[in-house]
Amino acid sequence: MDHIEDIHYLYAILPLNTEETGNVMSVFSAERYYDRYIDTEGNLYLGWISEDEFDLETVSLFFEVMNGDDSITYFEEKTEWGIDYTGAVPIRDSDGNAVAVLAIDIDMTFLKTQILQHTFVNVLVITLSGFAFIILFLLWSRKNITKPIEALEQSAENFVDHSQGQRDVKALHFEAPEIHTDNEVEALSEAVVKMTEYMREYVTDVVSAEKKAANMQELANRDALTGIRNKTAYDHEMKRMEALLREGETKIGLAMVDLNYLKKLNDTYGHEKGNLAIQKLCRMVCVTFDHSPVFRIGGDEFVIILRGSNYDDYDQLNERLQNEMKAMQADETLQPWEKVSASIGAAFYDPAQDDGLDSVFRRADHAMYENKLAMKASRE
């Protein structure tokens, strides 16, 4: 013990039981000179029985060692003197019977202290290294990632601000920042530039397609002969007028205009002359009711949507149109297809008798038919 300072205890014990307190009996105990002759407190003597020296778990381990083979068993042991690392083997008599356990304890307190110190130093070194790495990484990322991305983001925001609602393709120009980082950020910048170029191409195609669609829509809503809007456009406009009715707008009227003698003109002078008569009537109606949309909904039928001043002044406007047609009938210088004659009937929305514009249309059509009959009767 005096020559090997790392040894904490060297002893032989006999475990007695583990039922209550884990009794053991001291067989012998090696001691240093200081422990034997100077500080004798706590010395173990031959035959001394301890009732609280070891806990039940440790005594159980000693029983396993004594009842086991001759290999050394190692375990950690915590006692009132500290934490020891123990190696133990059974002691046998000449017949091979286990009579005690020989054990040696190495004090782990110093070792654990050293471990804690080294752990602290390692943690400190790792922490300082980590901080240094983080600072270097932040500086590197600031130069190679953060600032280039911020520049790219600012360019993208400027592009978006100038592009919203922009119909001029030439104005869709992306000012790409100067990024030379040789990493993914530079690749991202190049991808954004390509994306904006693709966007310009796409917008160009969309604008072109919209213009074509608008032209096609315009053609679909225009009457080829007269150039005014046709039955399809009339149906769309009626839906809009119905919405106005639901919103409380009630000053809406419809006027039906039907060209007279179209069949006779076609049969006598040909369809080309009949078309000239249709075109002339269309011009007269559009000029007279210049504040109202006019639609050709059939071969010789026109509908006028009366609103605003044309709604209020319908009687005067109708009288003007009738007088103009009477004057043409009396003009001997005109050809038969130039002497346009038409029947006109109008109806105005009345919530007391109309549940919608279809009802107004029927009443206007009926009024036009009555006017046609009256004109026929007057000729006869």
Where do the H-state alpha helices sit in the chain? 33-37, 56-66, 109-141, 147-163, 184-221, 231-246, 262-269, 271-288, 308-312, 314-330, 357-379
Which residues, other chains included, contact 279 with Cβ-Cβ below 8 Å and sequence gap of 6+? 225, 226
- Residue 247 pLDDT greater than 70, yes or no: yes
Which residues, other chains included, contact 210 with Cβ-Cβ below 8 Å and sequence gap of 6+? none
- Averaged pLDDT for residues 230-241: 93
Q: What are phi and psi of 117, to 5 degrees?
A: -65, -50
Which residues, other chains included, contact 266 with Cβ-Cβ below 8 Å and sequence gap of 6+? 273, 274
Q: What are phi and psi of 17, to 5 degrees?
A: -160, 165
Q: What is the pLDDT of residue 80?
A: 65
Q: What is the pLDDT of residue 149?
A: 81
- Determine the Cα–Cα distance for residues 270 and 333; give it in Å rounded to an integer: 20
Complete domains list, the chain, with CATH: 7-107 (3.30.450), 115-202 (no CATH), 231-379 (3.30.70.270)
Q: What is the pLDDT of residue 45?
A: 66
Which sign, positive or negative, has the C-alpha torsion 13, 16, 17, 23? Answer: negative
Q: How many residues does the chain have?
A: 380
Q: What is the pLDDT of residue 215?
A: 67
Confidence of residue 18 (pLDDT cuts 50, 70, 90): low
Q: What are phi and psi of 181, to 5 degrees?
A: -100, -10
- Averaged pLDDT for residues 147-172: 72
Q: What is the pLDDT of residue 303?
A: 97
- Residue 44 pLDDT greater than 70, yes or no: no
pTM score: 0.48
Q: What is the pLDDT of residue 91?
A: 95
CA atoms within 13 A on the CB side of 183: 10
Query: How far, in Å, are 15, 70, 71, 179, 365 from residue 29 at the CA level?
Result: 15, 21, 21, 79, 130
- Residue 319 pLDDT greater than 80, yes or no: yes
Query: How far, in Å, are 162, 194, 199, 200, 221 from residue 206 at the CA level?
Result: 18, 18, 10, 10, 22
- Residue 379 pLDDT greater than 80, yes or no: no
- Determine the Cα–Cα distance for residues 68 and 363; give it in Å rounded to an integer: 118
Q: Which residue do the tokens 């514009």 mark?
A: 357
Confidence of residue 176 (pLDDT cuts 50, 70, 90): confident
Q: What is the pLDDT of residue 166?
A: 63
Do 346 and 306 meet the contact criterion of CB atoms below 8 Å apart? yes
Do 97 and 67 meet the contact criterion of CB atoms below 8 Å apart? no
